[in-house]
Structure 1
Amino acid sequence: MSGAGSNAVLVINSGSSSLKIALFELGVRPGGEPGLAERDGGERRVAEGAVTRMGSAEARAWLRAGNVRREQGGSWAHHAGALNVVLKWLDELVAVRPPAVGHRLVHGGPHVTAPARIDAELLTRLRAAVAFAPLHLPAAMAAIEAARARFPEVPQVACFDTAFHTTMPEIARRLPIPSALHDEGVRRYGFHGLSYEFVLSSLSSRAGEPLPARIVIAHLGSGASLVAVKDGKAIDTTMGFTPAGGVPMGTRTGDLDPGVLVYLARAKQLGPDAIERIVDRESGLLAVGGSSDMETLIDRSARDPGARLAIEMFGYAIRKAIGALSFALGGLDLLVFTGGIGEHVPEVRALACGGLEAFGVALDRAKNERGEHLVHQAGSPCAIRVMATDEERVIARHTYALLARAG
């Protein structure tokens, strides 16, 4: 059995059809001060697990604590049931109940961005914000309710992907729509903020390496977005009002001409639910290439024109976004690839960098194929770095820090 101390945090990261959990033990500085500054990195991962492909016959749950691993298949339709499976294993394998729980939420609406303790008032606000992220928030809310039922006396904290982007200037946040809609919260928010925060904190903690002034970070996975960071703060990003915008993704459209949605409503007589299904679940790589999985598309690409087109469209969209964000920054000092695809698929990195030499982006193809951490050519004015991300670790930091401040 593994153990964790009283300064442990259980993190629950809910996706639309999956969830991840991690149990961290966080350090304390000599003298009793919390060792939780953003750049400390003093956390120990005690256990971790996940449930994938919920709602399908291929759903699987696993949990690992130390050298012990539990795994099983299932047909969980909802996050609550799946979460209870991995939490039962956690009870069996780890000799402590978590004294705090942190949750990832994609969106908190226009009024909730900073990490916040979960209470009745916050839950009311989150329910009111479901329309801002209908694919993600219901799943996260179900996980919160399941965790509160299992740990009724344990303080729980919500951490928001949108928080990172609150530094964006009005020119990047405002949509060209009537002011009444803007005042109701219809604006550009940005997402993947917890991932971006981890990348920046990791870059900032590198000894002897000052944080570059102009950075583009590409978080590429089944959901994908890019952000422009100037002097450590977000100034623009590709996702907008919802996580459906920006570059095309595994099953999401990315940016569309708004007229497409009007056409679907008027000519095809589709209602909001049907349009939402097309935009969020039936489009992107899946629609073009027949699969939402990048590795599957790459395996098929030599013999399947649709798979090859999907890969090329994805790379092209990322390349355009890098160029646009570089322009917003006034140049580019560092390009970072992270997320499952960004970290592990060299073919996508090569497509994303091709033709960007005017921005100082020069990929070393041999280093890229070998999966090295630095993949730019020697002497290139723009460094290209490949990094792992860790949203759960950032959530643990915020949760511990907020509760420590509250006493």
Structure 2
Amino acid sequence: MDRNLIVTMNAGSSSLRCAVFERGSDSPDPLLRLSLRGLPEAMIWERKDERSGESLEEELTPPKVDSDAQAVALAEMKDRLLAEVASERIAAFSHRVVHGGRDHTAPVIATEEVMTDLDALSPLAPSHQPHNLAVIRDLSSGFPGIPQVACFDTSFHRDLAQVDRVFALPRDLSEEGIVRYGFHGLSYDHVATALDDLAPELSGGRVVVAHLGHGVSMCALRNGISVATTMGMTALDGLPMGRRPGSLDPGVVLYLIEERGMAPAQVREMLYDRCGLLGLSGISSDMNVLIQSDAPEAREAVEFFVYRCQREIGSLTAALGGIDALVLTGGLGEHVPDIRARICGGLGWLGVEIDHGANDAGETRISAPEARVPVFMIPTDEESVLARDAETVLED
């Protein structure tokens, strides 16, 4: 039996997504997509046949409170995957790994040496990196003859100029790797490719892409290449997120440790789990919940998020020396038209103006016909990038 399938694995802090691609296919779409989301409080299963459009959703028994929710989800995913696909047909598993650090700037087979390198980066992405690596190790053990390919979110930003890469710290620290890496690279890679197919006359110009999800970042592209991005050495930096604060005066961290007596571990837990929209509102990290709430704290959190997005789009436009197109992607960018409208509503000075009918309908181009700057909503597809990158590694 030919090994003609690539299986992608995308392990997040609250979900596990899988897709099955056929090698050599004329279609860029996978044969099917499988996902488990809502972890750890719930576990919602979804199976979608991309080619027929058929979809099935089922609410499963959530993991026990004291269990490893990701391990439970992975065991469930493996069982369901192997009910669909014979392991003898799998040529490779391709994994999203959030942080590649200085040494891993291209997809690579996840050898033990590589895994040791990536383990050392876990403190820089504690909400993601351990989950990513746990899946690789589990599948390496369960399928010893099948290559495990690691693809890095940081790779897309590997060519950032020095002025965009460094912090104003002592040079020896920068030389040791304390620099800006940027994240959401698989998403930006897909959007850059999709925009080139959709509007090639724009993709070679100055484009700002906003990845708006539970994690939030933006990227300035020139000719499809990252020239500036909002996240830094870790995924805490930049824009406010569901539970992470975004940009923060480092003196706040010093004050919390030195004057308030918080242990570093307590500060880390707060920054990764109790800030952002959840911290500002005291209600929820879910933007949909906040939009629907009448509480003034919810309104303030939404307004702060929109304001910071508008400011950052302005900053990235300055980095590019102008803007030829704006692209919104990610869960909020794709599924919450109210957020798209609010963000774009404050960018008239840039030449942004949306068509509210197109925006409400979720069309791909949501800008008004007369707008100077076209605005697009392009759904992200990290899985297609994972499959493509695995194919490249296998061919090498």
- TM-score bracket, normalised by the shorter chain, equals over 0.9
Of 262, 280, 291 in structure 2, the residue corresponding to residue 288 of structure 1 is: 280
Residue aligning to 1:193: 185
For the pair 1:49 / 2:34, whether they are aligned, the reply is: yes
Task: String of CA shifts for 1:268-302, please: whole Å, max 9, x gaps.
Answer: 211221111111100111112211111111111xx
- Cα pair distance change 1:208/1:275, threshold 3 Å: closer
The offset of 1:59, in angstroms, is: 3.0
Write the distance in 1 (CA, Å) between the matches of 2:242 and 2:178: 25
Q: Where in structure 2 are the equivalents of 1:7-156 lying within 5 Å? A: 7-27=4-24, 42-56=27-41, 58-64=42-48, 69=56, 71=58, 72-75=60-63, 77-97=68-88, 98-156=90-148
Indicate yes or no: 2:346 matched with 1:362: no
Task: Note closer, same or farther for the CA distance 1:362–1:68 as it changes in structure 2 (3 Å cut).
Answer: closer
Q: Does 1:221 align with 2:213?
A: yes
The verdict on how the C-alpha distance between 1:332 and 1:5 changes in structure 2, with shifts beyond 3 A counting, is farther
Asked whether 1:6 is paired with 2:34, we answer no
Deviation at 1:203, TM superposition (A): 1.4
8 A Cα contact 2:202 2:325, kept in partner:
no
Partner of 1:398: 389
Q: Aligned ranges for residues 199-214 of structure 1 at < 5 Å?
A: 199-206=191-198, 209=201, 211-214=203-206
* More moved, 60-69 vs 242-251: 60-69
1:208–1:200 distance in 2 versus 1, CA, 3 Å: closer
1:61–1:82 Cα contact (<8 Å) kept: no
Kindly tell me: are residues 5 and 360 of structure 1, through their superposed partners in 2, closer, same or farther at Cα, counting changes over 3 Å?
Answer: farther
* Per-residue deviation, residues 2-23 of structure 1 (Å, max 9, x unmatched): xx96321110101123211111
Which consecutive unaligned segments of at least 5 residues does structure 2 have?
none
Residue type of the partner of 2:127?
A: L
Matched, 1:264 2:261: no
Query: Contact 1:228–1:325 at 8 Å: present in 2 too?
Result: yes
Distance 1:111 1:217 in 2: 26
What is the CA distance between 1:51 and its match in structure 2? 2.1
How has the CA–CA distance of structure 1 residues 210 and 218 changed in structure 2, closer, same or farther, with 3 Å as cutoff?
Answer: closer
Per-residue deviation, residues 208-255 of structure 1 (Å, max 9, x unmatched)? 645240000000000010000012211101111111111100010111
CA separation in 1, counterparts of 2:261 and 2:189?
A: 42
Q: Distance in 2 between matches of 1:305 and 1:84?
A: 42
| Contact 2:284–2:290 (8 Å) recurs in 1 | yes
Give the Cα separation in 1 of the matches to 2:57 and 2:72.
16
One-letter amino acid of the counterpart of residue 289, structure 2: T
1:384 correspondence with 2:379: no
State which of 338, 343, 347 in structure 2 corresponds to 1:347: 338
CA distance change for structure 1 residues 383 and 189 in 2, over 3 Å: closer, same or farther?
Answer: same
State the alpha-carbon separation in 1 of the partners of residues 338 and 37 from structure 2. Answer: 25
CA distance in 1, matches of 2:203, 2:55: 39
Aligned counterparts of 2:118 and 2:205: Cα–Cα separation in 1 = 35
Are 2:282 and 1:298 equivalent residues in the alignment?
no
Give distance in 1, aligned partners of 2:45 and 2:264: 32
Matched-pair identity in %: 39
Matched, 1:242 2:234: yes
Q: CA RMSD in A?
A: 1.9
